[in-house]
Amino acid sequence: MDLHTWHKESEKKWDDFASKWVENSQEMWETGSRKNIIPFFSQYVPTGNKVADIGCGDGVGSLKLAEAGYEVTGIDLSNVMIEFAMEKTVHQPKLSFIQGDFYSLPFKDEEMDAALVINSLEYTGEPLTVVKEIHRIIKPGGYACFGILGPTAEPRKKFSFQRLLGDKVIMNTMQPWEFEKIAVESGWKAVADTGVAKRGVDFTKLGHFSKDLKQAVSFMWLFLLQKEGNQ
């Protein structure tokens, strides 16, 4: 599938799926798989920083960032998602949203202090290009937090498996270790990482497991990366 077709198919998929996504997004960020992302992010990224939430969906995560003290611009491919997100800006003057292309982000070189990229890189046709584009917009010394689905996470089964039957899919099968490798080779410095366990998995009982093995039983793996240089 060429990049233009991938882009259009991805936009249509998320436009169609938006209303269903909205039903669960609040729970994901407050008590579900995304509840620890902002606390992890805020350990490294100073409040007041300008943050791009890339693949913001309906804006719940962006709103959480704004409430935590960041100046946030959410960007998503889906216009329907952005329409849902815009409803959250009413009482948040430091929160805005833009429909945009991840391959050509609407920011100047080194304009942003940080980026949050949760489970969106997997839905791009050229992840390496997007990782480099995010690197472009971040100031030297700035950060990016990526969330990459674990090897057996349910969305992989739902959106990726059909490729083996010859169907065209709009989900990349990139593994967490593969992402880390392309990120480092693209100029990012790995600072920290942590896992989001699948239901029924207790990471505290897996202390002797290597990171690769822990990733195998994760729903998602979070990477905190830094663009080298001084601000």
- pLDDT(194) > 80: yes
- The length of the chain is 231
pLDDT band at 139 (very low <50, low <70, confident <90, very high): very high
> How far is CA 85 from its chain centroid?
16
- pLDDT(88) > 90: no
- Are 228 and 140 spatial neighbours (Cβ–Cβ below 8 Å)? yes
The pLDDT assigned to 231 comes to: 58
Interval 97-124 mean pLDDT: 96
Entry pTM: 0.94
φ and ψ at residue 90, rounded to 5 degrees: -55, -45
- pLDDT, averaged across the chain: 92
- Are 146 and 121 spatial neighbours (Cβ–Cβ below 8 Å)? yes
Map 17-83 to HEC letters.
HHHHHHHHHHHHHHCCCCCCHHHHHHCCCCCCCEEEEECCCCCHHHHHHHHCCCEEEEEECCHHHHH
The pLDDT assigned to 36 comes to: 95
Interval 100-107 mean pLDDT: 94
pLDDT digits (tens, 9 = 90+) for 46-84: 999 999 999 999 999 999 999 999 999 999 999 999 999
CA dihedral 205, 26, 107, 170 (to 10 degrees): 70
The pLDDT assigned to 137 comes to: 98
The pLDDT assigned to 73 comes to: 98
pLDDT digits (tens, 9 = 90+) for 157-177: 888 888 888 888 888 888 999
